[in-house]
Amino acid sequence: FRQHPDAFYQLAREMWPGQYKPTPAHYFLRLLHDKGILLRVFTQNIDSLEGQAGLPREKVVQTHGHFDSATCLGTGKPVPIQVVKEAVLAGKWKELRDEYGGLVKPDIVFFGENLPERYGRLRQQDLPKADLLIVMGTSLKVMPFASTMNDVTALVPRLLIN
């Protein structure tokens, strides 16, 4: 990203949240929450569609981050996400960099970066309590999600939906 930021900003312009709507799977998770039987959703997606479907923020762990906030990499300070969105969509990331003192990116996790602390903490806290594990929309090839199936107790049913 630091060497070739233009490629990221081009991709971000194409995939910025708000262009897509939650799917029936997102609303299914909301239904589980509404019925009081959802412990947590761990997602690899960065699109924030769970929130758009009505899931409370505390119920969702966005393992690879999200487009809901942004940070200047040069200063470590938060940058208003609406400002970032407007700059990215207008192709003005250089102006954003100059204004804030460094490259600015949404708080998504790139390959090689550390996952959020909240992910590790809640994974250890929640999965041993689970009485059912539903895994949806993943190949189970990317770590750490590939090992999630082993983080519940042996008697917990696992449902894989792809």
- The Cβ of residue 66 has, within 10 Å, a number of other Cβ atoms equal to 24
Dihedral in degrees, nearest 10, Cα atoms 107, 113, 119, 121? -130
Give catalytic status of residue 64 as yes or no.
Answer: yes
Residue 59 φ then ψ, to 5°: -85, -10
Closest alpha carbon to 137 in 145, 128, 125, 147: 145
Active-site residue, selected from the candidate residues 4, 26, 33, 64: 64
Contacts of 27 (CB under 8 A, 6+ apart): 53, 54
User: 1: which 2 tokens?
Assistant: 């990203």
User: 103: which 2 tokens?
Assistant: 């490259």
- Residue written as token pair 């040069």: 74
Closest alpha carbon to 64 in 131, 120, 110, 32: 110
**Residues carrying an active site annotation:** 64
